[in-house]
Amino acid sequence: MTTAATEAARLVGAGVDRVDGPSKVTGTARYPADFGFADLAHAVLVQSTVAAGRVRRIGTAAAEAAPGVLTVITHQNAPRLARAPGGLGIGPPPPLQDDRVVHYGQHIAVVVAQTLEQAAAAARLVEADYEAAEPLHDLDDPRAERVDNASGRDVSRGDVAAGLAAAEVHMAASYATPVQTNNPLGLFATIAHWDGDLLTVHDSTQGPAFARAALAVAFGLPETAVRVLAPFVGGAFGAGLRTWPHVILAALAARVVGRPVKLVLSRAQMFTSVGYRPPTVQHVKLGARRTGELVAIDHEGIEPTALEDDFAESLTRATAVLYHCPNVSGRTRQVRLNVACPTWMRGPGEAPGVFALECALDELACELGQDPVELRLRNYAEVHPQTGRPWSSKALRACYEQGAERFGWTRRAPEPRSMRNGRLLVGYGMASAYYGYVQAPCQARASLGLDGVAVVRSAATDIGPGTYTIMTQVAADALGLPLERVRFELGDSTMPPAPLQGGSGLTAALGSAVHAACRQLLRAFAELAVSGPASPLHGCDVQDVTVLNGRIGAARAADLASGETYTAILARHGLAELSADGASARRTDLDAEPGIFAAKFAEVQVDPDLGLVRVTRFVAAVDGGRILNPKTAASQIIGGTVGGIGMTLLEQTMSDPGTGRIANATFGDYLVAVNADVPDIDVVFVGEPDPINPIGVKGIGEVAIVGVAPAIANAVFHATGRRIRSLPITAERLL
């Protein structure tokens, strides 16, 4: 069976508009908080005001007596809940199981009432008396537990000590990144409803199947008794990768009151309840020859984690693979503190880790008097440095070359503080970017009925990158249909299972499964057609059948007029529809390593008197394999760059060191990049389709932010001569 004809094939690779755009702009897209029930009750959380200790007494009488209150649940009356085994998608321990407090903002009660206003008013009446303990908040606290190799991704090769000793040029520095909070625009919300022992949950999740598994374990249910729905999610950036305690509490409250319950986090609760990017302290040592070849890299990162959680990320994964270097050691160490559970945030691990590595490379380039791009090209890794295996595809060299050309890198004067725009200091900076993705198994189902519309389903989510659109394109391409005759559905755990939307792996996994399901469906139609004596295709070989605009015909024919439509085949055989399943997994027959690469170039202008930094130009050259939709793909890179500008210049979650209280848990105080902070961002895609999966994609959501921070930080140094090694780069630090 041949591929779809040329006109249909153009759907993949075309920059079509989002198919879900009209529903979003007209308000018909329903997010988790938008579903209603006639007897819907509302839940509001009560949170701890201490970071460590025990709840000595919790007074609920006044709250229980307040108007409209249905129940107040605390550790004293909450049913026992189980915790799922640790791992991806599994959240912290279930809430309200004992009187211990392990972080500020921990949920210690939930109030359920007829209305949201009644629940909020009653929640303020709950009184808690604590037996407070001295919290662990400092990475250097000798009382804190150290977790070595927490991520299981420590890397080493060669002899770093010997390499550093033999190096002709040395560079050593420490870098720091702060707590940063995911802060999607949409507040996380959960609506839970029980029908006997069947639980239905609308939730802000990045993986309905994973949330279903966690809920099933918590309540001792088979997974078939739980349904999780998330057709639209108002952003997440990684915060939706875990099933958080408030989700469990919404389901628990609904069971207790025997009614559907809605629980929506406040903006302040988003800072303590759904994770954040943990702060890091990173120590980097580089050794090189005077000609620029690296001979040793030593990179250690330290970050906090919660007392009772298994979350871990690798800060040094990119360090092992970005450059050819014979002696490398990369280690991530964690310290258990009285902090809320951290989680993945866009570019987890790589975004802060590459900041340290790429700033160190820039410092080495200055020490050597070498151009930063030339230094990276001199240490280019033609094969995977750790395994020695070839890359499945790699176009990082083209990223450097095309990115530098579009940016005008050759205009860069090497000396810091040597470029100006009037009184403003001008700086150019660049950085490499890498993200290692994993393609998890995925399934999809495609159906086509007498109305001529193909419906493709999978239990994935779309948190904003354009999954609805590109999967519609993939399906339309495979079935030879126009876009308007394909409907892609997702966000329901009863659909064929799909992995989490995170780690830049969903497009490859889901797209390959959708492609497989649609090709299987086309084959099923072709087999019916060639076997029917009344069909113009009777007797044709299935392998010689193709399709265009919904009309199946012989590939050797000059046109498809002699063929027939999907609906005609169904009608002739008395069928209402045909369905087919498809599955995907990462190819294991290729002796190759996958990787996503990019080069980022930034121009900044700095006011020398005020210390104000403005990013005035930015170029991102990205090797993301086949780009299914240049419009949505460029939007992903632009969005990641905006997040990177915030990461570099603005974002920092501040907490009181003594109590752990978040001091800036509002959009008025937690600063994010807005239009005035963002220049025109030039995005160029380079490279070829990656053979690691059938549709040739890599995924670009994570690499979009990786490398932005060091490119800007290096540009700030070039403009000012001041090396700022701690984010965010503020006027106070520059002055």
CA 661 – CA 106 distance, rounded (Å): 11
**255 shares a domain with 115:** yes
Do 465 and 483 have their domain in common? yes
Q: Residue 103: which CATH number?
A: 3.90.1170.50
Kindly state the DSSP code that residue 257 receives in the 8-state scheme.
Answer: H
User: Over the range 166-184, which residues count as b (16 or more CB within 10 Å of their CB) and which as e?
Assistant: ebebebebebebbbbbbbb
Q: Structurally, how many domains does the chain consist of?
A: 3
Is residue 130 located within the same domain as residue 251?
yes
How many whole angstroms separate alpha carbon 498 and alpha carbon 453?
A: 23
Q: CA separation (Å) from 649 to 164, 353, 395? A: 33, 17, 29
Residue 514 domain-assigned (yes or no): yes
Report how far residue 642's alpha carbon sits from residue 227's, in angstroms, rounded to the nearest whole number: 35
Q: Kind and range of the H or E element at 147?
A: strand 146-147
The pLDDT value recorded for residue 557 is 58
Quote the pLDDT of residue 692.
87
The whole-number pLDDT of residue 678 equals 97
In this structure, the chain runs to a length of 735
Domain end point (choices 584, 599, 614): 584
- Do the domain assignments include residue 425? yes
Question: What's residue 14's pLDDT?
Answer: 83
Is residue 598 located within the same domain as residue 653? Answer: yes
The model carries a pTM of 0.96
Residues in the chain with pLDDT values less than 50: 3-9, 558
**H/E segment holding residue 264:** strand 261-264
* Residue 474 and residue 612 in one domain: no
* Cα Rg, the chain, nearest whole Å: 27
Q: Residue 591, class by beta-carbon neighbours within 10 Å (0-12 exposed, 13-18 middle, 19+ buried)?
A: exposed
Question: What pLDDT score does 6 carry?
Answer: 41
Burial class (CB in 10 A: 0-12, 13-18, 19+), 705: buried
What token pair was written down for 2? Answer: 């041949």
- Taking alpha carbons only, the member of 512, 519, 518, 510 closest to residue 491 is 510
Shared domain for 101 and 248, answered yes or no, is yes
Same domain for 427 and 574: no
> What is the H or E stretch that residue 568 is in?
helix 566-572
Please confirm, yes or no, whether 702 is among the known catalytic residues: yes
Active site residue: 117, 382, 702, 732, which one?
702
- The last residue of a domain, from among 533, 561, 584: 584
Q: Tell me if residue 507 falls in helix, strand or coil.
A: helix
Q: How far is CA 670 from CA 181, 238, 262, 647, 667, in A?
A: 9, 18, 27, 11, 5
The CATH number covering residue 721 comes to 3.30.365.10
Residue 625 lies in a domain: yes
What tokens does 714 get? 């290096």
- Say what the pLDDT of residue 546 is: 83
In a domain, 483, yes or no: yes
224 half-sphere exposure, CB direction, 13 A CA radius: 0
Q: For residues 580 and 610, what is the distance between their CA atoms, to the nearest angstrom? A: 63
Q: So what's the pLDDT on residue 590?
A: 79
Q: Write down the pLDDT at residue 186.
A: 93
- Residue 80 domain flag: yes
> Domain for residue 186, yes or no?
no
Q: Tell me, what's the pLDDT at 485? A: 96
Residue 541 has what pLDDT?
76
Verify that 398 and 472 share a domain, yes or no: no
Q: Is 722 exposed, middle or buried (0-12, 13-18, 19+ CB in 10 A)?
A: middle
Both 84 and 115 in one domain: the answer is: yes
| Position 346 in a domain | no
Considering the domain architecture, whether residues 12 and 84 belong to the same structural domain is answered as no
Of 584, 610, 632, the residue that ends a domain is 584
653 lies in which domain range? 389-436+591-734
- pLDDT at position 3, please? 45
Q: What is the model's pLDDT at position 310? A: 82
Between CA 186 and CA 358 the distance in angstroms is 33
Per the omega criterion (within 30 degrees of 0), is the bond before 710 cis?
no
What is the pLDDT, as a whole number, of residue 83? Answer: 86
**Pairing mode, strands 328-337 and 424-435:** unpaired
Per-residue tokens: 279: 């702060």
- Measured N-to-C along each axis, helices 245-257 and 208-219 cross at an angle, to the nearest 10 degrees, of 60
Give the pLDDT confidence score for residue 2 in this predicted structure: 52
Amino acid identity of 109?
A
Residues 567 and 540 in one domain: yes
Quick check: is 210 in a domain? yes
What letter represents residue 513's amino acid? Answer: A
Classify residue 265 by burial, with Cβ atoms within 10 Å: 0-12, 13-18, 19+.
Answer: buried
Whether residues 419 and 497 share a domain: the answer is: no
